Amino acid sequence: MTNRKSLTEYVSAFTHSLMHLGITDVVISPGSRSTPLAYACMKQEGLTVYRQIDERSAAYFALGMAKASGNPVMLLCTSGTAAANYFPAIVEAYYARVPLLVVTADRPHELREVGAPQAINQINLFGSHVKWATDLPMPEDNNLLEFLARHLHRSVATAKTEPKGPVHLNVPFREPLRIDFDQPFESRGEMMHFTGEFKLNQETETFLQGLLQTERGLLVVGEMAAPMPQEFWQFIADLQWPVLADPLSNLRANVKPEHQHLIIDSYDAILKSEAFKESMAPEVVIRIGPQPVSKPLTLYLAAVKPKTYVVFDESAMMRDAQSVVTHHIQSAAKGLWQLPLEARENNAYTAKWQQASELYWQLMDQHCEKELDEGVLAKVLFDELEGCHLVVSSSMPIRDLDTYFQTTDCDVVVYANRGANGIDGVVSTAFGVQAAVKRPTYLLIGDLSFLHDMNGLIASKMQETDLTIVVMNNDGGGIFSYLPQSEEERYFEDLFGTPTGMNFEDAARMYDTEYASAKTKEELVQALRTPKQKAVKIIEVFTDRQQNVKVHRKLWNRLSEELSK
């Protein structure tokens, strides 16, 4: 039997090591088997505990926090299906490279696989979707504490090493599970940890310097975790290549007016025009970050097959779904902008991209003036944002972000779950982002995605928050109307449209959030500008799926016409 003294010492050493390793946030879901660690986390000075009763939401909450802070967040739950509910968020964290420390409490070894209640096989439960998994030993009365400290050190270091990701610690506890709150803890010393900088070697530098001489070059920037430093902006100002900035690159907001013309934020639309594409093939493409959201860009690069397509990626698993990358530089992206570069003049190739982009935004202004659809309403939201974070869901919200979010000097930081593109857990991700940044946060989400994680709203009952949720309610999955399935009427609504006929006013009442609805641009502006009285506000925007497709296509057709002139 584990005695209370050893148990207390073990969990105190556990949380003490977490502090030493720089873990500051823990998300706990209630359950009995995790009791000793849950108590220790509550007791540990410097650790902030967040709570969420639904483990699926809890894991997405932790994911949102870790995404926004860049620091691993610890999850703690009891044994059984509680642990299994972490899985979707772990998958997302793995592919999106977000550091998580997933701690699942377990039965002691003699109660595994023998029919004991709430006992499932938790060893390697998350399979190949974690960077490392281990089953810790029982907290017995022996000399385990140094071993525990080293395992925690390895866990946190693994989660934080690029490519970052989740690590799973399975921790068995034997009853009784209560600890002694008054037992003092004396650390036996922690291991110190230092890291080194990875630098490009001379050969790589020379190679890149050669490529940068071309005038027909494109710099593609995928999702970026942190705002770019001043050095980056100087580099692209000197380079004078078009910078195709994914909506998650965070290069479209907080951009000084003198740099805004360097950012091409309309390529997703421009590259739908055959006339434009024909004359604009690049000689060299350099990409930092993952593949952008834009399908037209992906298809374009796959079709052009640039002679030189360089990707900076710290991981050996370099992201290249189209097999078009010709050079993988296994390094942090900053290796690129740290290259010395002489300032160039604006060239004709870049100027053409910039002119097309200017034309796009002029047409967009006219379009938004005249038309009303989900995209136009999304733009109303984007134009209202300042001094906040924005989380967007998968499906049309991320695409609307790509189409309608114009480069601005306003302070908006954007996140989405693009590791596995799920429509699940998005409400909780937004709460997690808010908890990490402690700023007003907005969430743009479709009705099905919102339904998927409505229980995420429980987070507002457990800790302070400040979240405005704009639900685009088009009564079902709007994205499918843009896909080839929509050409076949049979079963379309049954299998893809999946209307539910639901609206969220009653849900708002149930979760005690503020509620407003909007059908027009003016109503949405008013709902956004009316000061929020409660921690969470749901603004439900009613749109029509068929109308959305019609209006979207009008925009593309008009742009194509203008670009072919």
- List contacts with ligand TPP (CB under 6 A): 393-396, 421-424, 446-449, 474, 477-479
Rg of the Cα atoms in the chain: 25
Instruction: Give the number of other Cβ atoms within 10 Å of residue 434's Cβ.
Output: 30
Residue 249's DSSP bridge partners are none
Nearer CB in complex with ligand TPP: 366/500: 500
Nearer CB in complex with ligand TPP: 31/422: 422
Nearer CB in complex with ligand TPP: 284/423: 423
Closest approach of ligand TPP to the CB of residue 319, in Å: 18
Nearer CB in complex with ligand TPP: 24/421: 421
Answer for the pair 149, 191: CB distance below 8 angstroms, yes or no.
yes
426-437 helix and 55-69 helix, angle to the nearest 10 degrees = 40
Nearer CB in complex with ligand TPP: 29/395: 395
Position of minimal CB gap to ligand TPP: 446
Answer for the pair 70, 95: CB distance below 8 angstroms, yes or no.
no
Closest approach of ligand TPP to the CB of residue 115, in Å: 32
Closest approach of ligand TPP to the CB of residue 66, in Å: 20
Instruction: Give the number of other Cβ atoms within 10 Å of residue 202's Cβ.
Output: 8
Nearer CB in complex with ligand TPP: 253/472: 472
Closest approach of ligand TPP to the CB of residue 375, in Å: 10
Nearer CB in complex with ligand TPP: 479/563: 479
Closest approach of ligand TPP to the CB of residue 59, in Å: 14
Give the Å distances, CA to CA, from 279 to 273, 282, 310, 515: 11, 9, 22, 49
What six digits make up the tokens of 320?
Answer: 């290249």
- In angstroms, rounded to a whole number, what is the distance separating the alpha carbons of residues 488 and 478? 15
Nearer CB in complex with ligand TPP: 485/526: 485
Closest approach of ligand TPP to the CB of residue 552, in Å: 12
Instruction: Give the number of other Cβ atoms within 10 Å of residue 383's Cβ.
Output: 17
Q: Which strands form 73-77's sheet, in the order they lie side by side?
A: 48-51, 25-28, 73-77, 100-106, 166-172, 132-135
- In angstroms, rounded to a whole number, what is the distance separating the alpha carbons of residues 301 and 298? 5
- In angstroms, rounded to a whole number, what is the distance separating the alpha carbons of residues 63 and 255? 27
Closest approach of ligand TPP to the CB of residue 249, in Å: 22
Give the Å distances, CA to CA, from 233 to 258, 261, 280, 338, 346: 10, 12, 24, 11, 15
Q: What are phi and psi of 421, to 5 degrees?
A: 55, 30
Closest approach of ligand TPP to the CB of residue 78, in Å: 24
How far, in whole angstroms, is CA 395 from its chain's centroid? 14
Nearer CB in complex with ligand TPP: 124/546: 546
Answer for the pair 279, 226: CB distance below 8 angstroms, yes or no.
no
| DSSP 3-state of 217 | strand
Maximum C-alpha span of the chain: 82
Closest approach of ligand TPP to the CB of residue 366, in Å: 24
Nearer CB in complex with ligand TPP: 434/474: 474
Q: What are phi and psi of 367, to 5 degrees?
A: -60, -50
CA angle, 136 then 152 then 438, to 5°: 120
Closest approach of ligand TPP to the CB of residue 224, in Å: 23
CA angle, 399 then 403 then 404, to 5°: 115
Nearer CB in complex with ligand TPP: 106/447: 447
Closest approach of ligand TPP to the CB of residue 426, in Å: 8
Give all strands (DSSP E) within 397-551, no chain letters: 412-416, 441-446, 467-473, 514-518, 536-542
